[in-house]
Chains A and B, each alone.
Chain A
Amino acid sequence: MIKVVKIAGSYLLLLLASACSDGALNSPYVQNEELGKVIYSSFAERPKHLDPAKAYSSNEYAIIAQVYESLFQYHYLKKPYQLEPLLASAMPSLSYYNKHGEKLPDDIATADIAYAEYLITIAENTQFQPHPCFNIDLHDKLPDDWDGKSLYDLPLASRGLSSDDFIYQIKRLADPSTQSPIAGLMANYIVGFNEFAKNQSSLRKKTPGLSKAQRLQSIPMLGVKKIDQQRFSIRIKGKYPQFINWLAMPFFSPMPWEADEFYLNPALVSSNITLDWFPVGTGPYFLSENNPNRRMVLSKNPNFHLEYYPTEADKEAEGKGLLSDAGKRLPLNDKVIFSLEKESIPYWNKFIQGYYDVSGISSDSFDQAVSFSSDGDVALTNNMLQRGIGLQTAVTTSSYYLGFNMLDEIVGGSSDAAKKLRQAISIVMDYEEYISIFQNGRGVPAQGIIPPDIFGHLTGEQGINPVVYQWKNGPLRRSIDEAKILLTEAGYHNGIDPKNSEPLVLYFDTMDSSPDSKARLNWLRKQFNKLNIQLVIRGTDYNRFQEKMRNGNAQLFMWGWNADYPDPENFLFLLYGKNSKSLHGGENAANYQNAQFDVLFEEMSTMEDSPQRQAIINQMVDLVRQEAPWVWGFHPKAFSLHHAWYKNANPNLMANNTTKYINIDPALRQEYQAKWNKPVYWPLVLVLLIGTLLLLPAYLIYRRIERATAL
């Protein structure tokens, strides 16, 4: 109690003292952390996994992509997206083999290729971060005097990176006990992956005493071979050029076997200190503090290898002055603090106070931050400009669409009537209006399946969807009358179903039950009403919705896809017949099947980017535009604000490891923070005065009551 009184007293003293100074009482940080080259960021919910074999969402990548490194990375300042070596010393050499294992020439036809082998050489002199797992003595017993608060209080050690660490991680991906989300996918490609997984399962049952590291190291994987300490090879089935994009993802980051062994300690497990929460990497930062309920702190890795800020950029990035730090050693900052911030209102207010460096723009604060000119151009409001805040916008590599279940009797199938019904609906779905109402203008109506900045996407007149748009100095949505003609040709004149002479009824399945959903669903009904079609909303919970989608029981649905890597194959595969969700458990949620499309897809997916590939993509896109298994929807536009002291911000939507390029000017931040957060005391004095004034009538009444007589 005395301690609490002391603390309260100290705070009051601080309050009084700061009345005479410029100190910020409302700083959400303690001590003097804000003085250094620190990035302040946030997270709204704690990440599920920080193990690179398991993590697969953007909030997880925001942390682990700074700690773990892959063999390759996307160039920070170049578009179209371009891969470059990161932990590899160069891009891999690729060899093709026939089914007998004989080497084939590079220009061999795809059909003749049975295997492709990537030979990878890793860069020299790369060290893991300092970590207690590299002290082998600690695997058996932790020091008695360790208080369990921080791993970094234990004796630290490190070691050099070798090809074994990459091979070990690939084995971890295959091991069923890891439960990697891409294990099923990789089993289709990496030679021996599936067999290795099966062997691990049986080995686990037969010899439960073996640790995970011992088990994984006891059996080789047929397609992954160590050549020496710096080189290894990965053999995959057939030709799959997109495999290199997977190698650039955190799934393939090197993992030291010592980490698995160290975290087995029951004392660590019972304190929630596991490999899934405390990573061990080679990246520019290490996770020095991990309290996923409050904050996570990345600190500069003292062992980080030599890496420099890019000296080349595309014209747009160069024009923005993003080469001013060219050639400087990375990372350009010392620490990143991610604080828990669940609600958007306090987050926004703290950003405006200068306590967060970057912010998205929620719909609550959109009008405060951004205004649209009469010709639709986006600009910051005066208030933002006066604060020196900058705006970044970028069309994301995502697609949100309205899907038709192609197995459905009414909207599905390849009949001319069903196709025209889908085309008519595609025309009346006014996504320009949707983006304006529900996205605050942050989106681009989709003309097809491939988003901008991905190979295969065409702009201008040649890029429009002729089924829905016509070109008149820009894309112009076709009229409702044209949609009605198509509807009549589909057999539903004026929207009337000839079977019962009543308006056609369609069903939309959704799990959207948020307060905003009512307006969205009303908008959706309104679009169908344009054709006199009645849309019945079938709301359901997440589980039942997923089940309906798996079983192919939904008729209309909304769905989205975010690119894994910048290749058209990662979008076009969403309509590949063998990926049908209800027939094959794949990602083709519309269950679209078209033999011609499938043949073209198989050909396109094994090609390098070239005019020939573009021609095939054009054919595929034209085909599905006519077939209209989706109403193509829109590609969201990401808006991001950053303060004047946050330099080198560049919206690279494929690279996850961008924190190392950010340069913070702490002096400027301090100056702005002091200016924006001067405490205001006079309202406190006013409240005290009013309180004192109220005491006067209270005292008068008190005297009257005390002096009153009973009679």
Chain B
Amino acid sequence: MINYIIRRLLYVLPVLMGVNVLTFVLFFVVNSPDDMARMQLGDKHVSQQAVDNWKQQRGYDLPLLWNERKSGLQAATETIFFKKSVGLFVFDLGMSDNGRDIAADIAQRMWPSLAIAIPSLIFGVLANITFALLLIFYRGSYLEFGGLFICITLMSISGLFYIIAGQYFIGKLLALTPISGYAPGIDAFKFIILPVLIGVVGGLGSGVRWYRTLFLEEAAKDYVRTAKAKGLSDLQVLFRHVLKNAMIPILTGIVVILPLLFMGSLISESFFAIPGLGSYTIDAISSQDFAIVRSMVFLGSFLYIIGLLLTDISYTLVDPRVRLD
């Protein structure tokens, strides 16, 4: 397995280089360094001198990919692409074009994102699995039909509606939780109840149906019939055996997103005024802050690859037949 992990880690480098090139090309096809400078300097009284000065101070006065004025290796290294990319591979994210330390910003904003994402994931998965297993248990009864009807209804409603309706009913009419806001430490608790509740309820429809499909396939297998024939109750069969054997697809869905949890959720964080990372990349794209865009895309790619690797490793833990060679 060690060899497999090393091999997979070595794949990371070319993938990240490819992602970095793609990000660079896509960004500079749409924005030029002059555009970036004008966006940062504002609309009023901006002179070309100020634009040139801005570019020079942030290293955007160099050619994009190839410096014809230099010779040898310097033709490639004295460019915006090289200067802005090389630090990423040692995880030096540098300063944003707005003059803020990107690593410090991420370190500060990841915790509120995690405060929402982790409980939403845990409670969401637990609720989805429990309801899905219960639907299997009550298969063929009107409880299953009723449950599926509710699932379809929940799936049909926009995620934004849950947020607005949740804020209106629970925060405004019932006055049980704050409508939005955040506080660090233990004070965060009262602020995360509503977003977590809405996150769990909003994901229930699709989540339950997805897990129900997995469990249905598993419940039709021979060992289930054997277990029942041996006298185990339906609940015991479902929660002890079916659940365990359906873990591989469940893990595929969960482990891969674990490292990305700290990246946050754009809409939820925006409506609940959570100071997380959800809008960090989008805001940077709007303000044409290349330093943040490249850092976040790089980090996102890296974490996704790590998530995939963790998924593979987790297979070996839940299914002894899986070997990573």
Contacts and interface: CB of A to CB of B under 8 A. Distances in A.
Contacts of A346: 167, 179-180, 271-273
Contacts of B57: 177, 179
Given A274-B99, A339-B181, A701-B138, A56 B175 contact: no
Interface stretch (B78-86, B184-192, B249-257, B312-320): B184-192
B275 A28 contact: no
Contacts of A272: 100-101, 104-105
Given A342-B279, A587-B45, A30 B187 contact: yes
A45 B273 CA distance: 11
Contact of A26 (B137, B177, B182, B275): B177
Contact of A271 (B53, B101, B190, B233): B101
B180 A294 contact: no
Interface residues of B, number: 66
Interface stretch (B29-37, B62-70, B199-207, B210-218): B29-37
A659 to B, nearest CB: 21
A11 interface: yes
B188 to A, nearest CB: 9
Interface in B1-58: 30-32, 35, 38-42, 44-50, 53-54, 57
Contacts of B35: 542-543, 546-547
Contacts of B32: 543
Given A346-B180, A543-B35, A698-B143, A706 B233 contact: yes
Contacts, number: 156
A201 to B, nearest CB: 9
Nearest to A55: B42
B190 A25 contact: yes
A340 interface: yes
B109 interface: yes
A344 B215 CA distance: 42
Contact of A181 (B50, B164, B174): B50
Contacts of A294: 112, 182, 273, 275
Interface in A425-466: none
Nearest to A48: B98
Interface string B253-279: 000000000000000001111011001
Interface string B117-145: 00000000000000000000110010100
Nearest to A270: B101
A543 B138 CA distance: 59
Nearest to A541: B30
30 contacts: A11-B189, A11-B193, A25-B177, A26-B177, A27-B178, A28-B178, A30-B183, A48-B40, A56-B42, A177-B57, A179-B57, A181-B42, A183-B50, A270-B104, A272-B100, A272-B101, A291-B275, A293-B105, A293-B109, A340-B275, A341-B180, A342-B273, A346-B167, A346-B273, A349-B171, A349-B179, A585-B48, A587-B44, A697-B143, A701-B143
Interface of A: 3, 7-8, 11, 15, 24-30, 45, 48, 56-57, 176-177, 179, 181-185, 269-272, 274, 276-277, 291, 293-294, 339-343, 345-346, 349-350, 352-353, 541-543, 546-547, 564, 585, 587, 677-681, 683-684, 697-698, 701-702, 705-706
Interface of B: 30-32, 35, 38-42, 44-50, 53-54, 57, 98-101, 103-105, 108-109, 112, 137-138, 141, 143, 164, 167-168, 171-183, 186-187, 189-191, 193, 233-234, 270-273, 275-276, 279, 283, 288
Given A349-B172, A680-B176, 17 more contacts: A28-B178, A28-B179, A30-B183, A48-B98, A179-B41, A181-B42, A184-B45, A270-B104, A272-B104, A294-B112, A294-B273, A342-B270, A343-B271, A345-B164, A353-B172, A547-B35, A587-B44
